[in-house]
Structure 1
């Protein structure tokens, strides 16, 4: 893993969170492949420090994104999925992927090489080695189908210009589709170099990309239309948490600014709406 830079090594954070899950006797996500991968990697996973609440946040946001992707694939036959910053994501094995779906996993070349060694190839899978904001790879992605772009744990590590460039390229390539990702507030983005991320080498003082309001992104990329936001405190998985955690979640559900500092998932649409001219 020494050949990966600190941002690329952040894939270990989400991988460990999914592998550990919570609680182990009744997992929220249920991702056995993630646990298998951790055993194959030549890395001491105990050095990846997941502070209190991080594993739970990882699996809840993964479930939230899984639901959004599943719903999109149900509504759009023969769709395209683009997983930006895929790392060692295993979503293809967690959800029901309809026949005819094309899945493009995009990440840095060293990450894709690692992914190819520790993960099997799923049907319809297309590995893409690319360094954002370079989007030349889009030329090889079908532009005659609906697409859902997923970015789990990616945008928060990029600078604002890179995020805007990537989104403009994507919205200009596909006729219609959706974008779903976990967002960070400006405060959280400024604190992204925390105990957890620094344990994989992220330097102190590193600043990520954050927004205070979902509509800030539509101003940066006019091709996007804001559809909805979801927060972890309103996710159905919170019903399985200890009573005090549920109590705090109910309080934060009425305080959007605070709720957004936790798990915050945004959904946007772009292009012509299906069925409309």
Structure 2
């Protein structure tokens, strides 16, 4: 099987050297395996996505020496595919509508008997307030959640995935109780997007024939959601490589709002691609450019 990986940034701000690390890691792994490196633009957040940021992504990555096949997949072009996947999960009886706001969720979890709220991949784990609602009652402003208890029970056996990265290497079997307690009923479609990161990334990875997902360690816990969705939708179970994160001098993970550490800022300051690659913590090799 041919190795295929991807780098999938959102055009909601400038890329920083953490993105450079992730993109270069994926690119180099594809080169080492004699496979393919793809670029995908994850622009489902139309309120924050900007054409100028997308163009800057292309320029920054080319400047670092990366190339990829054309045309580039854009999530904003693929809403029917996400809707079809969502409808399939709804038809399985695994979803319910939710009209809770973040304030509602915080209030529901503030009762003393609830204890300390548990944080999952999407923040505070949803307490299940709307779990009894039927999809027939869904309104235009409702989000659609996955009923994790029903979803894990729907499969005869839960899958496992292989992690090849340096931090979490090994085979990781999904455990129903962990999914229910530590992840909870995640959102599959947001009212202002019609989809979600979890649903769209699974559908797109399958469409592009991705064999290994290369991404930061902060997304490792989301892998359980993605592998579960792959199994529910009858899609291939992928291999994953989660790498460490590039942090600032205080140990804080870099963010897009930190423009001072953006690739473009370093370019404007006259740094070379090799200097930025070294700042990202990667060796400069001929195969990287």
TM-score, normalisation: structure 2:
0.29
Q: Which has the higher contact order (CA 8 A, sep 6+)?
A: 2
